[in-house]
Structure 1
Amino acid sequence: MAHAIVEWTANLADEADIRGLLELIAATMRDSGGVFPWGGIRVRGIRLDDYVVADGKADDAFVNITVKMGAGRSAEFKREFFGRLFEAVKAHFAELFERRYLALSLYVEEADEAGSFKHNNIHQRFRKAD
C-alpha cells in the first residue's frame, strides 16, 4: 500500500503540470525495488478551490503531498526514498518556483494495520506478468 494525495491550489491550474506530477510520483513508487507493490499504488490529485495561504493577500500557491503507507519500512528507507521523491518534486516545479510564490510540502504517514481494511484484485494482474 502506498497512496499519495496531492492537494494543489486552483490558482496553479493554468501553470502547473499536475498530471505530470501524479505520473512522476506513481513512477517513483513503482521504482521502489518492490517495497511498494504496484497493485497497491494510488496517486490522486485534489484541486483546492477554497483556501487561504499566508495572509491571503497575494496570489500564493501550494502543493501538498501526503503519502499513506503500511508500516514496516525502515527510517533509512523513508529518509532516502522520500528525500529523493521530494527532490524530484522540487525539480518538477523548479521553473514555476522561480516565477511565483509557491510552497511545496511532503508528509509521510504510516497506516495502522488494525484500522486498515482492503479488498483489491489488482495485485493479481501483476502476479500474472511474472
Structure 2
Amino acid sequence: MAHATVEYTANIEGAFELDALLALIARHMREEAGGVFPVGGIRVRAIRLDHYVIADGKGMDDAFVNIDVKMGAGRPAEFRQNYFDALFASIHGFFEPLFTLRPLALSMYVEEAEGWKANTIHQRLQKAD
C-alpha cells in the first residue's frame, strides 16, 4: 500500500500539469521503490482546495501544495528516509518553474497507516503477467 493525496490551492489551477504530477508520483512509487510498494496498492489522487487561508491572508498569489503519503507499516527507517528524500526532490524539481513565478509552499508528510482493505486489482495484475 502506498497512497498519495495531493492538495493544491485553487489559485494555481492550470499553472502546472496536474496529471503529470500524479503520474510522476505513481511512477516513482512503481519504479524507484525497489518493489517495496505492490503496484496494485498504489493510489495517487488530487484534491483542489477552494477555501483556504495562507499566512497573513493578504498575499492573494500565495499558494500551496501539500502531499500526504500513507503506506503500510514495516518499512525500514533507512528506506523511508532515502526513498522519500528522492521523491520530494523529484516533486520539488517538478514545481521549480512555479517557485520562480509566485509565492509557493510545498510540503510532504508521510504516515505509516494501519487499515482494512479489500483489493482485487492484485489478481488482475497477476493475470496480465
Identify the residue that residue 20 of structure 1 maps to in structure 2. 20
Deviations 1:61-116 (A, max 9, x none): 0000000010010110011000000000011000111111000001000012xxx1
Rounded to whole Å, the distance in 2 between the matches of 1:18 and 1:63 is 11
Q: Give the partner amino acid of 1:129.
A: A
Q: CA RMSD in A?
A: 0.8
Deviation per CA, 1:9-61, whole angstroms, max 9, x where unpaired? 00010212111111100000001111000000000000000001101111200
SS of equivalent to 2:100: helix
Match of 1:11 in 2: 11
* Counterpart residue number, 2:122: 123
- Cα distance between partner residues in 1 of 2:117 and 2:128: 22
Length-normalised TM-score, structure 2? 0.95
Look up the match of 1:43. 44
How big is the shift at 1:126?
A: 1.9
Pair 1:66-2:65 in alignment: no
Moved over 3 A (4+): none
With normalisation by structure 1, the TM-score equals 0.94
Structure 2 equivalent of residue 29 of structure 1? 29
Sequence identity, in percent? 62
Number of paired residues?
127
Distance 1:35 1:72 in 2: 10
